[in-house]
Structures are given as C-alpha cells and as structure tokens.
Amino acid sequence: MDFIDQIQELAARIPKLRENIKTEEATKNALVMPLINILGYNVFDPGEVVPEYTADFGTKKGEKVDYAIFKDEKPVILIECKTIDADLDREHASQLFRYFSVTDAKIGILTNGIIYRFYTDLDSPNKMDDKSFLEVNFLDIKEPLINELKRFRKESFDIDDLATVACELKYTREIKQILAREINSPSEDFVKYFAKQVHNVPFTQNVREKFTGITKNALGQFINEKINERLKLAMSEGSVEAISDKNNGQETPDIMEVLNDGVVTTEEEIEGYHIIKSILRSTIDPKRIVMRDKKNYCGILLDNNNRKPICRLHFSTRQKYLELFVDEDRKSEKTPINELNDIYSYSDQLITTLNSYENDVHK
C-alpha cells in the first residue's frame, strides 16, 4: 500500500472511531501514532520517537511535549496533541513555543488527531511562528496536501528544503486567503485602488458604495471569462480530461490558477521542482536551478536558460511523466512515474545532465 492509500485509509477510519475517542491519550493512540508510523518513524523505538519528551526551560522544569521525533540523535519535529474535539483556534501550543527555542527542532505540529498544523521559525530564528505554514484536515483531505505530508517522511525529510517550502506555502496560503476575502467582500482600500484607476474623482462615501458593487462584479466576470476561455481551449484541443485531472477533478479551476492566463503551476509541479533542487544541491548552487512553467509542461532549467534544460515535468494528465535529456544532442525521453518521490530514482541522470552543461563551460 503506497503513502497516499495509507493516508486515505487513516482518514476514512476517523468518522468510525470518533465516537469512542474521549481522551487525549485515546486520540494519540488511535490517530496520531498511526500517522507517525505512516511517515516511516518507529513509534516503538525510543531513539526515534520519544513520547512525553522533557526539556527544561528556564525556571520551568519537567514540562513535557507529547512526542519528539529524532534524527541523528537530535529532535527535529515536536508534536503537541489535544483531544479530538479540541478547537485548535482556542488552544495554545504553549509547550511547542517553549520547546522550540531550547531544542534543535525546526518543525512543530499542533494536532487534535484530525487537524494538523505545522509551524516553523520563518519570522524570527529559533522562535516558533504564531501562524502555521501548513494545515491538513483529515476530514477534508486533498491530494496536493498529501503530497506536502510526504516531505515529513523519514526517507525524504530535509530541513533545508523544508525551510524554503514552508516560506512559499505560508505566504501563498495567506495571499490566497486575502484574495478570497477581497473577492467575497472587497475592503475599502481594495475598492479605492480600482476606483482611482478608472474614475479620477474624490473617494467619497457614495463613490465607495458604488464601486464596491462594481469591483465585486468586475472580478466575478473576469474570473468567469478566464474559466470559459480555458474550457473553450480544452474543448478545441480535446483535453477536457487533462484540465479536470490538473484541477483534482473539480469542475472549475482554482482562482489562483485562472489568473495565470492559461499557464497553471500546480503544487505537484512545485514539489517536483524542489525535489530536483534537493537532488542537485550537492552538485551546484540551488539558486541556479529555475522552474519555468509552460502550458504543456513544466521546465526545469539551469541559469534560466532554455538551452540548458535539466528535465521537464509532465503532470497535467492522469499518468505523470518525467522527461529526461539523455545525450549530448539534448534528445529527450519521457519516463512514466507513479509518484513524485520516484524522481529520486533518476538522480544520476539529472546530475549527469547538469554536469554536461558545466563541462561545456570549462572546455
């Protein structure tokens, strides 16, 4: 059973188990420990997973966080658990905040066994952020989020790579939330910005009220027009199935995808890009590896140079492909992959392609 199947199976069990889970301990045993196990950590090995982890903090002695996951004899992930019915918006991750500053851990997780919130220290080093960079709800779990969970598996855990991903996830999520609020209920500043662009008069109360409705309607029309354009293009190219697959089976694209004028950068493509950077970071400065998305594929380039393709990701259909460049003439072959971590199997080919460009420079 692969990772996605295991996660979906655990999620499917929650409604059946929920009525019988009354305590925090029951939540941990029935839901949290199975997830830790799925991530590849041995919950019965105290050198890998330490329950009731204790670390002194100032004058506070003997406080405990529910689980600490260790790597190379150092804690890398701290997990604080609440009861299954706990409202995480009201709960304080107090132990996580304190332990974060006195341990080597860079990932903190707050959970009630259903919702998992992931934290790190983007805002201030060694101080856990107030806002999570990732939230996974097991009662409403989507495949892109399952792919994000894969980053925390024992076999692929890379704290340096996670730091970059966490930054992108956190701020992308917050911007999308702002956009959703503005589209549903435009703020005064948002309306004022557009009104000033098209109607050079004082922004009075009457103008604000008038342009609030106009702005909301204009945004709705713009999004609908973009959706219709993409559907017409799909029908003309016979690729309706491809668009459905790329949007996880939803009837209409995500708003952030619509605004990209037909070029859709998915979370899977972003994850694939970061996997490739992770593979090549020991060979070259990862800042030189650039993602350039196209309508038909997502290209990974060296130095943002079209003449230096490292590989291409074809993730818009049900079967995913990794396109590799196999010889000096830059001939390519598309190889089917079942999941994104399969990319690691082609590390040698990716490094060889990269080195061929570097060798050309030094000839």
- DSSP code per residue over 169-193: HHHHHHHHHHHHHHHHS--HHHHHH
What's the confidence (pLDDT) of residue 311?
Answer: 95
What's the confidence (pLDDT) of residue 238?
Answer: 44
What's the confidence (pLDDT) of residue 172?
Answer: 83
Query: CA-based Rg of the chain, rounded to a whole angstrom?
Result: 24
Degrees to nearest 5, angle at CA 192 with 187 and 197: 140
Determine the Cα–Cα distance for residues 107 and 119; give it in Å rounded to an integer. 6
* Local confidence band at 199 (pLDDT 50, 70, 90 cut-offs): confident
Residues of the chain with pLDDT > 90: what percent? 36
Mean pLDDT calculated for residue range 326-343: 87
* Local confidence band at 362 (pLDDT 50, 70, 90 cut-offs): low
268: pLDDT strictly greater than 50: yes
What's the confidence (pLDDT) of residue 335?
Answer: 93
* Mean pLDDT for all residues in the chain: 83
355: pLDDT strictly greater than 70: yes
Residues of the chain with pLDDT > 70: what percent? 87
* Local confidence band at 316 (pLDDT 50, 70, 90 cut-offs): confident
Determine the Cα–Cα distance for residues 106 and 126; give it in Å rounded to an integer. 8
Q: Do residues 81 and 27 make contact, with C-beta atoms less than 8 angstroms apart? A: yes
What's the confidence (pLDDT) of residue 235?
Answer: 54
Mean pLDDT calculated for residue range 10-26: 92
- Return the bridge partners of 336, or none: 321
Q: Which residue has the tokens 């997990």?
A: 79
Q: Do residues 114 and 14 make contact, with C-beta atoms less than 8 angstroms apart? A: yes
What's the confidence (pLDDT) of residue 222?
Answer: 82
What's the confidence (pLDDT) of residue 91?
Answer: 72
- DSSP code per residue over 201-239: S---HHHHHHHHHHHHHHHHHHHHHHHHHHHHHHHHHT-
Q: 70-108 pLDDT, tens per residue?
A: 988 889 999 999 999 988 887 777 778 887 878 888 899
271: pLDDT strictly greater than 90: no
Q: 233-248 pLDDT, tens per residue?
A: 655 544 434 444 444 4
Determine the Cα–Cα distance for residues 286 and 335; give it in Å rounded to an integer. 24
